[in-house]
Amino acid sequence: MDHPFIGDHFSIDDDTSMQHVALKQDKPIVDAVLKTHGLTCDIALQVPHFLSMPLIVQKTDFICTLPKRMALVYADFFRTKVMRPPLEYPNIPIYFMWHQSADSDAGYK
């Protein structure tokens, strides 16, 4: 659970100097937030879904930014450390999807 470059506090310098794993999208959220403060980061790898991010972080010196609840759930399973980011991030919308054959299922209403 220890990172070779990050101690008990996660700073903006840590955020901008570390290599990131980010969700593959036009503008990764970590990059967008840092740019609003005139900062940049090194997005070393982009992945298609959140689940692969903590696995990559577990096996490398990379870091990633995840929604808090997701990070806390993954932390125990992947033996990773969760730290509050040095900047505020916007709320991330959550979407549900299911096959149309389940439309009448009361659990989706």
* Tens-place pLDDT, residues 22-36: 988 877 888 888 899
Residues 6+ apart with CB under 8 A from 30: 15, 20, 22, 41, 43, 65
DSSP H or E segment with residue 23:
strand 19-23
Q: What is the per-residue pLDDT across 40-98, written as a single tens digit (0 to 9) for each? A: 999 999 999 888 999 999 999 999 988 888 899 998 888 888 988 888 888 877 677 77
Q: Which domains does the chain have, with CATH numbers?
A: 1-86 (3.40.190.10)
The predicted pLDDT at position 52 comes to: 92
**pLDDT at residue number 38:** 94
Token pair of 44 as six digits: 């070393």
CB 54 within 8 A of CB 76: no
Question: What is the residue whose two structure tokens read 């990172």?
Answer: 3
Q: Which residue has the higher pLDDT, 97 or 100?
A: 100
- Give the pLDDT score at 3: 66
